[in-house]
Structure 1
């Protein structure tokens, strides 16, 4: 177990990482949605919406680390789960429509660059979050680390879809990858909902 001084330092690190995620995802989400709409890329728009979910989850971490969110952990986890379900439904519907109507997305070099930069920034953040959460024994911070890893997986999936669209003109790669994004979002929503079952409304710090 960490000493009181070590625990305080770990909490400060956890807060700094959470604030970094808030700032980064606000910028990332704005660029992703703008680029996605310009290129008519539903996968890229979905990635931007996922950034908003990341901001919400990071806000929960900040709230909890400052000492007062444990009693509200159950509703917070359920709100995160519902957000993921909404994302999954939206992306799945739009992806299926694009595949059926063959609505081709335009090329998005901005989207490719954004996801490369996102991986360079957020992979080290996810690793640091995991280590900090483990050292603190804090499941909230560890859960946020898992969400950051999901965002990294989405970046890799999007790079594959956007790259294939740009290099070989496989327009269907974008909605196909978007369906994978929808599946991952639904899976994360289910996991968050199940996690909420272990947090009773009467729980206190």
Structure 2
């Protein structure tokens, strides 16, 4: 299991675009690794297609994508044709799908769903999402059960927040979207806030504490 702030394991694995060594593949980019229970399954087919459609948006944010499924590269290559057909995709598939037929990575990264099994009784891989920073450390993780498809608009939104807050001393509030007002960090003193965020607003609350401070996007 990898915890937030840990250096992500520098695994080597086969994929649809060749052998991937994670840290070399990422270089100075951000990365997203998202896992799937199995090839030729309905929810996964919708998910990989959705990410393929969003690939230009992730590229704008300097994010490299990687999917993982517990089947072989050969199965992945056949499945890609179904993904493209169902999701009306043309051209080359925009990101690699990693093979993990022995579930070595799924176990190492804590992605096993104990409640969902294959016909042969093997546990399925859960729908994990790992966002990895340019420093190769884990910045965000989300774990869905095999039966629940992910919202990749939310993942894109989360990347916007992670990249903003990595550079600026702000946090993003509930339902924040890129361009919206941010929260000034509680660690910033009132005097610092006046200098750093001259347009910030202090919101009055019954406690009288001045911890709710919003500012336009820095």
The bucket for the TM-score relative to the shorter chain is: under 0.3
Q: Which has the higher contact order (CA 8 A, sep 6+)?
A: 1
Structure of higher CA gyration radius: 2
Structure holding more strand per residue: 2
Structure holding more helix per residue: 1
